[in-house]
Amino acid sequence: MAKLKCDPFSGGEPLPPGSTIGIIGGGQLGRMIAIAARQMGYRVAVLDPDPDSPGAQVADRVVEASYNDRDGARDLARISDVMTYEFENVDADAVEAAMEITPLFPSGSVLRTTQNRVLEKAALKRHGLPAADYRAIESEAQYLAALSEIGGPWVLKTATSGYDGKGQRVIREPDGGKAYRELKDHSPALILERFVPFRLELSVVCARDRSGKMLTFPASENIHTDGVLDTSIVPARVEPRVAERAADLARSVAEAIDVTGLIAVEMFLTGDDELLINELAPRPHNSGHYTIDACRTSQFEQLARVLCGLPMGSVEMARPAVMVNLLGDVWTETGGKPDWAAALAVPGTSLHLYGKGEARPGRKMGHITALADTVEIALDGATLARDLAWRRRSARAGTPVL
């Protein structure tokens, strides 16, 4: 692997401001990584097929190429001093080709594990980490046999390329192979998991530097609608011992698969207070967006610090926070004119838009974060602000005093 001229990963000095961080992917996560890095004085180069992608809009340089373009990844590596990727659905071969030129974190091996649900679950099992029972599925016969082996209900998922609830089927009773036939053309391999009757969903973003030091951001309580994250509540409304166990699990995952950078660990909390790991994401996470406004160091700045060999920043929260996603429905149902003035009139709120040109139902276009003295007040504020932007009656009565 090529060495940085000031390689923080070989005992040298940290990578100085003015150096270039390369990001494979120019979506909203790439955009927010770039904004944090530029605030610290670093230059940013982005690889994305769209020259006007959210990340490209704030980057210093753009490599216009597809995510599986190895030559494009090499081109990005040549103009970068260190690299990362913003989501898992990039080509691991392209990532490893870039790593031959420039250090890249998290590594290609971490990417290969986390972009395939079968390999991910196998890694968790190998390290003794808790997750639902599962079976790898490559044929209808395997699917039918697995239904008998694992107690139902079940969830059938594509092994790769699934996100925001896509590529999944919940199966309440044996279906004669119907779900398998519906999904088999979307992925060469599938995974059948035992459905977890969870009480709530949690996630923890863990940062780990090259020396192995780890810091975890406060656990987020997550509410999904149609498989897409809708609301993140922080601190999560769980007992402190549960939040600490969640943080311990995230640190165990980061160490087990040797992450340098960030790893987001999504978990289920059952009615018996058992924590089961659902999925991993080796990057900044939607549920961690609250850190921009609520923490001394955001998840994006933390990643930039780790990439450049700088000391990690404090993950302390200033105040409780709630983040609500803004999907394209807010635009399509208001004729393309959400009422941002009304939303921002709610005290304690911040608006983050991602620079996407086309608003489509279900597409993540931005988010609103509300800070307050309690999570209940913050939840009222964030929900009200989104509803005012949406020009609809809030489901939560009253205007909160924040």
Residue 339: how many other CB atoms lie within 10 Å: 15
Contacts of 331 (CB under 8 A, 6+ apart): 337, 338, 359, 365
400, amino acid identity:
P
**Cα–Cα dist 171/154, whole Å:** 5
pLDDT at 168: 86
pLDDT tens track for 92-147: 999 999 999 999 999 999 999 999 999 999 999 999 999 999 999 999 999 999 99
Assigned architecture for domain 198-390 = 2-Layer Sandwich (3.30)
pLDDT at 392: 77
SS3 category, 5: coil
Mean pLDDT, to the nearest integer, of 217-243? 97
**Cα–Cα dist 47/24, whole Å:** 5
pLDDT at 13: 85
Domain 20-104: state its class.
alpha beta
Q: With contact defined as beta carbons under 8 Å apart, do 26 and 51 qualify? A: no
Q: Pick from 218, 217, 205, 195: which is nearest to 270 by CA?
A: 195
99, amino acid identity:
M
Q: How confident is the model at residue 9 (pLDDT cuts 50, 70, 90)?
A: low
Strands (E), 271-319: 275-281
pLDDT tens track for 232-258: 999 999 999 999 999 999 999 999 999
39: its two tokens: 């605030």
Sequence ranges of the domains in the chain: 20-104, 133-194, 198-390
Paired residues of 214 in beta bridges: 208
CATH for 133-194, among 3.40.50.2000, 3.40.50.1220, 3.30.1490.20, 3.30.460.20?
A: 3.30.1490.20
277: its two tokens: 């790991």
pLDDT at 354: 98
Contacts of 155 (CB under 8 A, 6+ apart): 168, 169, 170, 171, 192, 193, 194, 195
pLDDT at 393: 57
pLDDT at 398: 42
173, amino acid identity:
E
pTM confidence score: 0.93
Mean pLDDT, to the nearest integer, of 315-325? 97
Say whether pLDDT at 287 is over 70. yes
pLDDT tens track for 294-312: 999 999 999 999 999 999 9
